[in-house]
Amino acid sequence: MQLNGLPGTAPMEQTVLRSEASGKASLPRICITLPGLITTYKKAKKLFGKNQLVESEKLLASIFAHIPLLVVDQPDQDQLVRELLGGCREYMTGIRLETERRRTKESGDLQRSLELNCYFTKCGLDQAHLALVVLKTAMLTAFKAKNFITAESFARRLLDMDKLPEKLRKQATKVVQKSQQEGRNAMKLNYQPDQKFDLCGISFTPIPQGRDLVRCPYCGTAYLPEHSNQLCKTCNISSVGVETVGLTCMVTR
């Protein structure tokens, strides 16, 4: 294929295939690459850390839309794509939780706001974001609300982390000491620190292990069964609960 350049210049030749091979090996050139999406993912996480949630959400949404167009030919690359998809799911869920938390806080529903804070701490974020942004906020919010048992659980999670900033470590230690003295919660929350659960992507309520649930076949977000066949709120790509083969991006030989 030839591309026209500036007037008076010769056309530029560009092959439309990746190789001269035929058959399955004769694949078209693509502009979407795994390294490119990983770079976008890093930008999205950086914006998240700066509290630029709208901008971060836009980048994550673009990754969700582009991943199905990827083509890889190595098992390790295929695994990396799935890890990228999972990371996008966790950060998008966190952004959606934080957006809802701010809305409920503005409406005066402090109990629901604190619950959403608690659920946010279960998202699989990078340690820096989990510690400095999520757990710290949840700990201080719960402590201020006099939910000392809940605040202590977040403080202990912080103290179990490596390379925690000294200032935050001292703060978490004080919260543990004070919370042990108080030993109570002022508000009853739909949250247990030690309970393992999936979070419904629509109702933002816990689904305890062993309970029935359905998932988005693309990004894996969990939902209560009554939300089957609705568009996934995390990726906006797939219908919830539909049985499919899921993501396929690796070339089969």
Phi, psi (deg, nearest 5) at residue 185 = -120, 135
Is residue 85 a contact partner of residue 47, using CB atoms and an 8 Å limit? no
Strands 214-215 and 197-199, by their bridges, are: unpaired
pLDDT at res. 204: 97
Give the whole-angstrom CA distance, residue 200 versus residue 119: 10
pLDDT at res. 73: 81
Is residue 122 a contact partner of residue 190, using CB atoms and an 8 Å limit? no
Look at residues 97, 99, 69 and name the one whose alpha carbon lies nearest to residue 221. Answer: 97
Neighbours of 65 (CB within 10 A): 13
pLDDT at res. 180: 94
Q: What is the pLDDT of residues 58-115, one digit of tens each?
A: 999 999 999 998 888 888 999 999 999 999 999 999 999 999 999 999 999 999 999 9
Give the whole-angstrom CA distance, residue 186 versus residue 189: 10
Give the whole-angstrom CA distance, residue 247 versus residue 227: 21
Q: Which contiguous run of DSSP H or E holds residue 173?
A: helix 166-182
Give me the DSSP letters along 75-105.
Answer: HHHHHHHHHHHHHHHHHHHHHHHHHHHHHHH
Q: Which residue has the tokens 């974020």?
A: 125
**Domain extents for the chain?**
13-91, 109-194, 195-248
List of the chain residues with pLDDT < 50: none
Q: Which amino acid is at 120?
A: F
Q: Is 98 exposed, middle or buried (0-12, 13-18, 19+ CB in 10 A)?
A: buried
Per the document, the length of the chain is 253
pTM of the model: 0.88
pLDDT at res. 32: 85
